[in-house]
Amino acid sequence: MSAPPASPGHQLPREHYLNATYGIRSWLLTTDHKRIALLYLVSVTFFFFIGGLFATMIRIHLLTPTGYLVTPETYNKLFTMHGVAMIFFFLIPSIPAVLGNFLIPLMIGAKDLAFPKINLLSWYIYLVGGGFVLYSFSTGGLDTGWTFYTPLSSVYSNSAVTPAVIGIFINGFSSILTGLNFIVTIHTMRSPGMTWFRMPLFVWAHYATSIIFVLGTPVIAITLLLAGMERMFHLGFFNPAMGGDPILFQHLFWFYSHPAVYIMILPAMGVVSEIIPTFARKPIFGYSFIAGSSIAIAVIGFFVWAHHMFLTGESTYAALAFSLLSYLVAVPSAVKVFNWTATLYKGSISYDTPMLYALGFIGLFLIGGLTGLFLACLGLDIHIHDTYFVVAHFHYIMVGGAVMGYVGGLHFWWPKITGRLYPEFMARTAAVILFLGFNLTFFPQFILGYLGMPRRYHTYPPEFQVFNVMSTAGASILALGYLLPMIYLTWSMRYGKVAGPNPWPATGLEWKTPSPPITENFPVTPEVDWEPYDFTHRPDISLTPGTPSLAPAHGDD
Amino acid sequence: MHRTGELYGQFQTLDQQRESATFGMWVFLVTEILFFGGLFLTYTINRHVYGVAFGVGSNTLDLKLGGFNTAVLIASSFTMAMAVWASQTGKKTQVTIFLILTLILGSTFLGVKVIEYSQKFEHHLIPGHGFDISYHSQNPSATDTPKLIQGEKEELEKALSRDPYLNSHTQLYFSLYFGMTGLHALHMVVGAGLLIWLIKQSFRGRFTPDYNTPVELIGLYWHFVDIVWIYLFPLLYLIDRHQ
């Protein structure tokens, strides 16, 4: 950007939620959704580090075909603990509990969530659950795979399964309460004029996510409770030696854990739906279809779980039905991708950092989604089941999709959260590094899987080494891509340029209050009399050329 | 967020606050249905596969105690409904009285459950290494009539001829029996705790026709826990009763 800054420098508001009260108690006992979001930000980042540490060790171990770093038993523990930390304690809470918590009340013009104390309780439940899991990690580890299949987890495993199961059980209630809070808030706390179809698509995505939180999480809770009791008291619900049914465990497990994938991806889709119109300077194409497809993904997502079990002993006819239903999820997902693309068409696109992440998301989600269709295909799945193809597929969705959305969203709303801008050049560099590193890490794994390298093995035939070395090299680039934002975002909290209320500018209600917002979010309850993503009829963010507000606030980068 | 009277700061009006709280409770009850749902599914599948063993296990339960408890719970639902009605119509003393009655009935239920559990313990029907479905017929207590013991022995023999792994499969029945009734009892204990808090608040005269949301919400919860029992009773006690 070479254009000089068109608007005079902004000042931080004198009083906002960050300086309203001081001291450790004011944070640990806060009921402000914005502060709770920051508490979550710190704690999910911590678990991201833990999960990342295990991933690093896995990749180093796989540099050579025989693997010198760890023993086979330790390798089992590494991929299990990587999965548990990343899925239950990072990916699932990341966007909803951090960005959703911070933004939903702001976006619908409310002072807070409907139940602020329950919101704080969710965070404490998350900490207690996380504590149990860390206890398991540090006292013998966990080697069952993140799926906890019985009877391995309930009878035969010699690792610390019980505390891990208790931890995930407890953590489930954190998800349930967050989902409950969001659903009620979206129903009852909208400000005057904020009708359902004026809500930002980010809120729609979180509404769909919350439905899964509320309907899915209790099932994993009771399932892990039964598996844990089976282990502790030698019961036989899922143990074939005692007449129990291990397939039943898998059905119950995936009834939650497949929709859980949509818990991870739907909020990221919400983030992308906010970023794309802002940086294409166009109303989003097909608003109601994007909103409806979020709900459709959440609903259909509940009827596809058994595609994880094509080869673990379910009937052929069930497999046929679940294969068809799995194809069906591609429809609403494609609706979103087409609508984002149509929004970009003839848009006035600027490649700011959030936009780079959003565009990266579309590409990576496309690859992840389409390879999902390969896996939903019964015949093909027999060949690639339990290979690195699956690993690559779901990392394209979870890392390429969910984490890209999360990091992109953090950048997009960072000015709102902290009141300051991140350094744009650094941020763009990091986004490109992340994208390249990610693809170098995971694309070779598609090839490995197709050639037949099974997942979860600690050794492999020498002919696979070149792809594994590529993957490990990519992982180190990816790690750099994650460290950079952590450094410069932290730096910008003190030294970043003051952002002003609406730096991009974007259309949402959250941008109509100072950055950072006051504790009550808005000085007076806002009234909404405009349609969503309308850039043409809003004098405050008008599209007329030459208007000062059009110039990006970081113009001198 | 500041609180003015009964209105919390994040809400604009008392109506909005009540609507949010009630809706939140309903959503919570939906999660509870899914939570119990996993157990009911496990029960259904196992009962379908091991029908004989489940019949035998069910017949060891005490129908009189179970029936009595069902009546007690239905009565407690009635008193709870009356407490809600009294709070809505401003009858402050009656609210307290009905809440105390509900608490007494709920505690009676839990007391009877303790008796039932201890009987199962004496008869070696707790799942685990000591589990033995034939223990009672081989070690009858002094009060059992010979005819009763004879009948039990015959039933076991007949069942064994149809299901050679009867001991292991009745153990599954009892795992589910303790799992389901235990989880239900845990909900009753939580409900009793909520009732004690409610009684304290009601004693101070907090609930008026304008503000009675806590009574209504805890009432909803109490009815839900009762309904779970209404399903548990036939599913666990009435599988294979002939005489």
More confident residue, A9 or A188: A188
Task: Quote the pLDDT of residue B1.
Answer: 66
Nearest to B171 among A229, A236, A252 (CB): A236
Q: Please state, in angstroms and rounded to a whole number, the distance separating the CA atoms of residues B121 and A283.
A: 68
Instruction: Determine contact: A454 vs chain B, CB below 8 A.
Output: no
Q: What are phi and psi of A150, to 5 degrees?
A: -90, 155
Cα–Cα distances (Å) from B118 to A23, A35, A537, B114, in that order, read: 52, 49, 73, 6
In a domain, B97, yes or no: yes
**pLDDT score of A544 more than 90:** no
CB contact at 8 A, A556 and A7: no
* Per-residue pLDDT, A553: 46
**Digit-coded pLDDT (tens) for B62-92:** 999 999 999 999 999 999 999 999 999 999 9
Q: Is A165's pLDDT higher than 90?
A: yes
What residues pair up with B8 in beta bridges, in sequence order?
B3
Instruction: For A255-267, give one letter per residue: b (16+ CB within 10 A) or e.
Output: bbbbbbbbbbbbb
- Interchain contact, A223 vs B38, CB within 8 Å: yes
Q: What is the pLDDT of residue A542?
A: 55
* Whether the predicted pLDDT of B213 surpasses 80: yes
Which secondary-structure segment (H or E) carries A73?
A: helix A72-86
- B28 CB within 8 Å of a chain A CB: yes
Contacts of A421 (CB under 8 A, 6+ apart): A414, A415, A492, A496, A497, A498, A499, A503, A553, A554
For residue B96, give Cα distances in angstroms to B90, B207, B220.
12, 10, 17
Q: Is residue A18 part of a domain?
A: no
Mean pLDDT of A480-503: 94
- How does residue A554 score in pLDDT terms, banded at 50, 70 and 90? very low
Query: Chain B partners of A181 at a C-beta cutoff of 8 Å?
Result: 24
Q: Tens digits of per-residue pLDDT, A382-402?
A: 999 999 999 999 999 999 999
Residue bearing the bigger pLDDT, B210 or A290: A290
Q: What angle do CA A472, A475, A481 make, to 5 degrees?
A: 155
B66 vs A399: CA distance, rounded Å:
53
Q: What is the DSSP letter of A10?
A: P
Best of A26, A178, A180, A255 to substitute, by most chain B Cβ atoms within 10 angstroms, is A180
> In angstroms, rounded to a whole number, what is the distance separating the alpha carbons of residues B243 and B232?
21
Q: Note whether B14 and B210 are within 8 A (CB).
A: yes
Regarding predicted confidence, which is higher, A546 or B131? B131
Q: Average pLDDT, stretch B31-49? A: 96
Partners of residue A221 in chain B, C-beta under 8 Å? 35
The verdict on a CB contact (< 8 Å) between A244 and B172 is yes
Q: Please indicate if any CB of chain A lies within 8 Å of the CB of B138.
A: no
**How does residue A411 score in pLDDT terms, banded at 50, 70 and 90?**
very high
What pLDDT, on the 0 to 100 scale, is given for residue B31? 97
pLDDT for A6 beyond 50: no
Share of chain A above pLDDT 90, in %: 89
Q: Where are the beta strands (DSSP E) in chain B?
A: 3-4, 7-8
Q: Could you tell me if residue B210 is inside a domain?
A: yes
Is 0.80 surpassed by the pTM of this model? yes
Rounded average pLDDT over A113-118: 96
User: What is d(CA A404, CA A434) in angstroms, rounded to the nearest whole number?
Assistant: 9
Q: Say which CATH number the domain at A366 has.
A: 1.20.210.10
CB A85 within 8 A of CB A133: yes
Q: CB distance A183–B27 less than 8 Å?
A: yes
Q: What is the mean pLDDT of chain B?
A: 93
For B17, nearest residue in chain A (alpha carbons):
A114
Q: What is the DSSP string of B92-116?
A: HHHHHHHHHHHHHHHHHHHHHHHHH
**What pLDDT was estimated at residue B58?**
94
- Res A549 pLDDT > 60: no
Residues A357 and A404 sit within 8 Å (Cβ to Cβ): yes
Average pLDDT, chain A: 93
pLDDT of residue A538: 76
How far apart CA A500 and CA A8 sit, in angstroms, is: 10
Q: How many domains does chain A have?
A: 1
Spatial contact of A177 and A95, defined as CB atoms under 8 Å apart: no
Interface check for A183 against chain B (CB to CB < 8 A): the answer is yes
Residue A515: name the closest of A491, A484, A532, A493 by CA. A493
Structure tokens at B191: 């409900």
Q: Which of A115, A185, A218 sits opposite B31 (nearest CB)?
A: A218
Cross-strand pairs, A420: A498
User: Of chain A residues 228-247, which have a CB less than 8 A from chain B?
Assistant: 229, 233-237, 242-245
Pick the range with the lowest mean pLDDT from A187-191, A367-371, B32-36, B153-157.
Answer: B153-157
Tell me, yes or no, whether A299 lies in a domain: yes
Per residue in B145-204, pLDDT (tens digit) is: 888 888 889 999 999 999 999 999 999 999 999 999 999 999 999 999 999 999 999 999
How high is the pLDDT of residue A519?
Answer: 94
Cα B118 from Cα B125, distance rounded (Å): 10
CATH classification at residue B101: 1.20.120.80
Of all residues in chain A, what percent carry a pLDDT higher than 70?
95
In this structure, what are the phi and psi dihedrals at residue A516, rounded to the nearest 5 degrees?
-70, 155
> Which pLDDT belongs to residue A1?
40
Q: How many domains does chain B have?
A: 1
Cis peptide before A516 (omega within 30 of 0): yes
* Domain-located, residue B114: yes
DSSP structure string for A483-516: HHHHHHHHHHHHHSPB--S-SS---SGGGGS-SS
Q: How far is A234 from chain B (nearest CA, A)?
A: 6
For the record, the structure tokens of A151 come out as 């009877």
pLDDT at position A366 is 96
The Cα–Cα gap between A142 and A78 comes to 8
Q: Which residues contact B20 (CB under 8 A, 6 or more apart)?
A: A114, A115, A184, A185, A187, A188, A189, B11
* Adjacent-strand bridge partners of A498: A420
Structure tokens at B65: 């105690």
Residue A295 belongs to some domain of the structure: yes
Helix and strand element counts for chain A (H, E): 17, 0
Residue A546 predicted with pLDDT over 70: no
Residues B217 and A154: their CA atoms lie apart, in Å, by: 38
Sorting pLDDT into bands at 50, 70 and 90, what band is A8? low
pLDDT tens for A298-334 read 999 999 999 999 998 888 899 999 999 999 999 999 9
Query: What are the tokens at B23?
Result: 């809706």
Asked if pLDDT for residue A57 goes beyond 80, the answer is: yes
Instruction: State how beta strands B7-8 and B3-4 pair.
Output: antiparallel
Query: What is B42-67 written as a DSSP string?
Result: HHHHHHHHTHHHHHHHHHTS-HHHHH
**Residues in B touching A245 (Cβ below 8 Å):** 45-46, 49
Asked if the model's pLDDT at residue A435 lies above 80, the reply is yes
The token pair that represents A142 in the structure block: 């966990």
Contact residues, chain B, for A252 at CB < 8 Å: 38, 41-42
Domain hosting residue B213, numbered range: 67-121+168-237
Q: Rounding to the nearest 10 degrees, give the CA dihedral for residues B44, A302, A406, A395.
A: 90
Cβ contact B35–A221 (<8 Å) = yes
pLDDT band at B241 (very low <50, low <70, confident <90, very high): confident
Q: List, as ranges, residues 43-102 from B with C-beta within 8 Å of A.
A: 45-46, 49-50
* B128, closest residue in chain A (CA to CA): A234
- Measured at the CA of A275, the angle between CA A271 and CA A279, to 5 degrees, comes to 175
Dihedral of the alpha carbons of A329, A333, A334, A336, in degrees to the nearest 10: 150
Do A459 and A64 contact (CB within 8 A), yes or no? no
Interface of A with B in 398-417 (CB under 8 A): none
* Percent of chain B surpassing pLDDT 70: 99
Pairwise CB contact (< 8 Å): A219 & B1: no
Interface of B with A in 171-210 (CB under 8 A): 171-172, 175-176, 179
A149 pLDDT band, cuts 50/70/90, is very high
Nearest to A248 among B23, B30, B45 (CB): B45
